[in-house]
Amino acid sequence: MGCGTSKELPGASKKGYASVVQSLVAFSKARDGNDEPKKRARGTWFSSSSVKDPPIQAPISQQQELKDGRQQHKVAKYKDKFDPRVTARYDIKALIGRGSFSRVVRVEHRATRQPFAIKMMEVEAPEGREVCASELAVLQRVNHSNVIQLIEVFQFPQRVYMVLELATGGELLERVVSRGHFTERDATQALRMVLAGVGYLHNLGVTHRDLKPENILYYHPGADSRLLVTDFGLASFGSTKTTCGTPEYMAPEVLLRKPYTCAVDMWALGVIAYIVLSGSMPFEDDSRTRLYRSIVRGKYSFHGEPWPSVSNLAKDFIQRLLPLDPATRLTADQAIRHPWVATMAASSSMRNLHRSISRNLRQRTSRSSSRCLSSTAASSSSSNKLT
């Protein structure tokens, strides 16, 4: 696909860490003994001003009616946009989210009442068409318990509708935050599932190219849920050279515009492992130039909390995913056999890293949401993703 222009896509800045901050706010309220109803914890309370200074509120029943009314209005709006051949089969229930060229809704199969997600993609413009083609090319070939499953596709000239398995368990980092207790063992459990999915993709010759915590979803809210790798809009087959991805997760060879392979996904997994264990990013800077410089120099450290409490084996795992030379990076099959993962951190301390992770995530998100707010004010079409 045409990823070489470094074009900034609209919309991506709205997501990511912002959703984690919402969970954090809700979670800390719950922990502080605030007995707000649980349903608020997953969600909708958001601007920092409303957290500091809540408006006078209508009684709960009225609030619920208002919410239901708004939801119904939204659903009706999205139903109108859906082709009747799709709505004849699937009943649209709610909007889950939006992507650069897509809307994702929760639906119910009319005959079986089974829930699914439908990703509706606009394919009139060439960019949307390319993203959709990449995504479909992968989804039509995959069948693995740690990769989102395509159920069926409806293709029309202007829109493509992908019926997908519905993931209801939230994003990887949301779960880390909401569980209240998080150890290295928990991190290895999550990473094993992601590595299984990514290893499967690599064995098929697929490079995801946009691995990040927001694209890793839990199938259901239960503790035993599997993790699913999602969002194949930037995926490619074989080696390639186009510059695309999300800056903080991009491997040095991508930034240096060298031909690259699926080892770029392993770099991104190193970044993800670092975040999952610490709540902070290995490479981060407000300036893209400085960010890219630190990535191409492989300049990151294990300073600050909670790193002194993290085992050397866990650090070794990360270091083996983040060497500058892609040829020396662990493959997915090797990473899953790394002693830290294979033993599920058996020799590491069972120390609860949750407090430090949450604090670091919260600090990072408040920094990035204030940046995000000011950049949204300056330009409503900014994005973090390069394609």
Ligand X SMILES: Nc1ncnc2c1ncn2[C@@H]1O[C@H](COP(=O)(O)OP(=O)(O)OP(=O)(O)O)[C@@H](O)[C@H]1O
Told to check if 148 binds ligand X by CB under 6 A, we report yes
The terminus-to-terminus CA distance of the chain in angstroms comes to 9
State the binding string over 331-370 for ligand X (x if CB under 6 A, else -): ----------------------------------------
Q: Which is nearer to ligand X, 194 or 313 (CB)?
A: 194
Minimum gap (Å) between residue 290 Cβ and ligand X? 24
- Ligand-binding annotation for 119, yes or no, is yes
Asked if 11 interacts with ligand X (CB under 6 A), we say: yes
Residue of 80, 83, 210, 325 marked active site: 210
CB 330 within 8 A of CB 248: no
Nearest CA-CA partner of 347 in 316, 318, 322, 303: 316
For the chain, where are the alpha helices, taking DSSP H only? 17-31, 48-52, 60-81, 84-87, 126-139, 172-178, 184-203, 252-255, 263-278, 288-296, 312-321, 332-337, 339-342, 354-378
Q: Which residue is nearest to ligand X (CB)?
A: 99
Q: Which of 13, 22, 23, 102 binds ligand X (CB under 6 A)?
A: 102
Report the distance separating Cα 201 and Cα 143, nearest Å.
10
Give the distance, in angstroms, between the CA of residue 40 and the centroid of all CA atoms in the same chain: 21
Interface with ligand X, residue 96, by CB under 6 A: yes
Give the footprint of ligand X on residues 204-243 (CB under 6 A). 217, 230-231, 233
Q: Which is nearer to ligand X, 30 or 151 (CB)?
A: 151
How far is it, in rounded angstroms, from Cα 140 to Cα 243? Answer: 24
> Which residue, 235 or 345, has its beta carbon nearer to ligand X?
235
Q: What is the DSSP letter of 245?
A: B
Stretch binding ligand X (CB under 6 A), from 37-45, 165-173, 322-330, 341-349? 165-173
Rg (C-alpha) for the chain, rounded Å, is 21
Contact 205, 240 (CB under 8 A): no
- As beta bridge partners, residue 155 has 160
Task: Please identify, among the stretches 46-54, 74-82, 92-100, 350-358, the one whose residues bind ligand X according to the rule CB under 6 A.
Answer: 92-100
Q: CA 311, CA 297: separation in Å to the nearest integer?
A: 24
Examine residue 59 and say whether the peptide bond preceding it is cis (omega within 30 degrees of 0): no
Binding residue for ligand X, selected from 1, 3, 12, 353, defined by CB under 6 A: 12
Rounded to 5 degrees, what angle do the CA atoms 89, 154, 76 make? Answer: 55
Of 161 and 340, the one with the shorter C-beta distance to ligand X is: 161
CA–CA distance, 353 with 310 (Å, rounded to integer) = 8
| Nearest partner of 241 among 231, 224, 253, judged by Cα | 253
Residue from 21, 26, 86, 99 that binds ligand X (CB under 6 A)? Answer: 99
Among the listed residues 3, 20, 92, 117, the single contact to ligand X using CB under 6 A? 117
Q: What minimum distance in Å lies between the beta carbon of 114 and ligand X?
A: 13
Q: φ, ψ for residue 198 (rounded to 5)?
A: -70, -40
Instruction: Rule CB under 6 A: say whether 23 interacts with ligand X.
Output: no
Looking at beta carbons only, is 217 or 313 nearer to ligand X?
217
- Verify binding: residue 97, ligand X, rule CB under 6 A: yes
210 in active site: yes
**Residue 104, interface with ligand X (CB under 6 A)?**
yes
**Least distance between ligand X and beta carbon 383 (Å):** 7
Is 153 among the residues that bind ligand X (CB under 6 A)? no
d(CA 97, CA 119): 9
Kindly state the number of chain residues that form the binding site for ligand X, as judged by CB under 6 A: 23
Q: Which residues bind ligand X (CB under 6 A)?
A: 9, 11-12, 15, 96-100, 102, 104, 117, 119, 148, 164-167, 217, 230-231, 233, 385
Indicate which residues carry an active-site annotation. 210
Please report, in range form, the residues annotated as the binding site for ATP: 119
